[in-house]
Amino acid sequence: MPNTPTEHVNEPPSYLLPLLQLSDSALPTGGFSHSFGMETFLERGLIDGEASFASWLSQFVGIQLTYSDGFALRLAFEASSVDDIARVDRMIAAAALPREVREAGTKMGARMLAISGTVAPGARLAGYAADVGSGRCAGHPAVAFGVAGRQLGVPLEELLASYLFTAVTSLTQNAIRAIPIGQDAGQRVLLGTHPKIMEAVRRIQALDADDFGITAPGLEIAQMRHERQRVRMFMS
């Protein structure tokens, strides 16, 4: 059998498959256990179908995922030292006022760190993991994702889009079973988030330090109320 010439064969970038693995909505970080306040809106009847969930998700992307998770990811990606990474971790932990959201970040961050350490090993990620293990840092999935993405050589804009889309996919899967809405409705919602995510990616890259942690009071109140909700499917 003749040899197939390979000198002109195009290959995807080396970071693509590891990025797809870390961005998989089935990654066992525990995202399926969290609604980040959505369940409170469900209980109050403010989310009751595809349209109302899509509206809530758009606000979640444009505010919390932009000014907290996404901005923290960017800062972790740009960090010049392990100490800078630790500072970002402390910032996002302090910005998470609702207890359940703060604890969700810690739990999901630990899982993301463990998985990232296998998929994208490196000194910075190991240093961050050591700081989390010692209690110096709380741990957060956005910070771990940002550090791992830099280790893999992923362009920042692609890393941000991947993280944000993974987050909305997880929330949409949770909405499909909690509201419930059908799988086709879920796909329509996800399609509708594309321009919102691209807008968030552009905005995150232009933010400065004073923008960190901007939030919507109504969302934070809903996240706090969830802790005492009588019937719950989710941990947050």
| The pLDDT value given to residue 125 | 93
pLDDT over threshold 60, residue 1: no
What's the rounded mean pLDDT across residues 110-125?
A: 92
Contacts of 170 (CB under 8 A, 6+ apart): 25, 31, 32, 34
Domains of the chain and CATH, by start: 33-40+47-106+154-224 (1.10.4190.10)
Q: Which residue has the higher pLDDT, 100 or 20?
A: 20
| The pLDDT value given to residue 148 | 96
pLDDT over threshold 90, residue 88: yes
Contacts of 161 (CB under 8 A, 6+ apart): 197, 198, 201
Q: Which residue has the higher pLDDT, 29 or 71?
A: 71
| The pLDDT value given to residue 218 | 82
| The pLDDT value given to residue 235 | 62
> pLDDT, tens digit, for every residue of 33-60?
778 888 888 888 899 999 999 999 999 9
Residue length of the chain: 236
Asked if 28 and 111 touch (Cβ cutoff 8 Å), the reply is: yes
* % pLDDT > 90, the chain: 67
Band of pLDDT at residue 105, cut at 50, 70 and 90:
confident
What's the rounded mean pLDDT across residues 19-45?
A: 84
Contacts of 233 (CB under 8 A, 6+ apart): 35, 39, 177, 178
The Cα 233–Cα 47 span in angstroms is 15
Which two tokens mark 10?
């195009």
DSSP code for 98: S
